[in-house]
Amino acid sequence: MENIALIESFSEFKDDKLIDRVTLMAILEDVFRNALKKKYGSDDNFDIIINPDKGDMEIWRNRVVVADGEVEDPNSQIELSEARRIEPDFEVGEDVSEEVKLIDLGRRAILALRQNLISKIHEHDNTNLYKQFKDIIGEIYTAEVHHVRPKVVILVDDDGNEIVLPKEKQIPSDFFRKGDNVKGIIENVELKGNKPQIVMSRTSEKFLEKLFEQEIPEVFDGLIMIKKVVRIPGEKAKVAVDSYDDRIDPVGACVGMKGSRIHGIVRELGNENIDVINFTTNPSLLISRALSPAKVSSIKLNEETKSAEVFLKLEEVSKAIGRGGQNIKLASQLTGFELDVIREGNVAEDDDVELTEFSDEIDGWIIDEFAKIGLDTAKSILKQEVADLARRTDLEEETIIEVMRILKEEFED
């Protein structure tokens, strides 16, 4: 019974670790063989019999009987007189099998066994966990907020596995409390020492793509294909979609009646503005669609340099560029072309140009500085003195001079 009691004490954490008994017994055999090697120098002459159903095991030491005084290896040989105390009819040359009780290994050895067993089980769990999450990289996963730290949110899933959501993988508007359910994709699994670190992301383009698969049946079924996704997390995204079936309108199917289908995705992403466009292999047409909601007049492509001059009417320029240059930046990423906006025609002397239309050349925070003092058009700034503007804003004179140079070029023939 000693063996059974000890085995049960060793395996008391089996249920906590969610490890099956057969695997536990295999680990136990490995651990005990290591202990036997340390105590006897070798485990070659030991038989370990495991009964996983009963949770019991037996250890038998096999030795050859030699004449008294002729033992050279006490681990593999036994004197005749000692063998006959086990069975009185043993003779020289015969094999003797003797059961080894775990308690015979000594108290220290048993404590070491326990520590080694715990270590092996953790190693087994970590290997399985690593494989489990490695197989679902790029898939949507949901876990509960366990702890919120300045640079990372610690999540725990239903099985108690820890998942990290770093600050840089969070949407800027994300705000989490303990107990909240968080959805993202498993972006990576790394081994930190022997322990796997599971990393979730909500900023990945793959996350938006998987949300489309989850929310839109035609995408899930493969009737609509997502050709490319680009995004500025929490701000704006563009998704190019296509369909093999001409009867299916891929954009309409993704957006739904009055945006009903895409609304849940937008809400999940912190009200990220999502433009869905029809994919085409025609680069000019793709660029034109990617710059939506602006209406493009014409496009001059350079396939070698992967660049394009996009000609627009004055009233369309700010739409093409977008707030802070977001629209043109995403359009460039989506199409793979460097886009240069060309304003059509010259600006008449009476005309003025909104400062936001220069956001592809002037940083948004600089435009905001001018707006704070009521200057939001090109001519309203050009009428000012550099020194006066430097005094009224937080801008350096060099910055103001550069802005004025850009604005003057707009009014030159």
User: Given this model, what pLDDT does residue 318 score?
Assistant: 84
pLDDT of 82 above 70 = yes
Contacts 24+ apart (CB under 8 A), 371-376: none
Structural domains in the chain, CATH included, are 2-131 (3.30.1480), 138-201 (2.40.50.140), 204-279 (3.30.300.20)
pLDDT tens profile 180-193: 999 999 999 987 76
Mean pLDDT of 239-245: 92
- Kindly report, residue by residue over 130-179, the tens digit of the pLDDT: 788 888 999 999 999 999 999 999 999 988 889 999 999 999 999 999 99
Provide the 10 A C-beta neighbour count for residue 63: 21
Instruction: Give the percent of the chain with pLDDT over 70.
Output: 84
Query: Where residue 196 falls among pLDDT bands split at 50, 70, 90?
Result: confident
User: What mean pLDDT comes out for the span 357-383?
Assistant: 85
- Residue 413 makes CB contacts below 8 A (sequence gap 6+) with 346
pLDDT: is 62 or 57 the higher one?
Answer: 62
Q: What does DSSP assign to residue 411?
A: T
Phi/psi region, residue 256 (left: phi>0; alpha: psi -120 to 50; beta: rest), is left
CA atoms within 13 A on the CB side of 407: 24
pLDDT value of position 207: 96
Residues 248 and 259: their CA atoms lie apart, in Å, by 17
Element spanning 166, H or E = strand 162-166
- pLDDT bin (cut points 50, 70, 90) of residue 106 is low
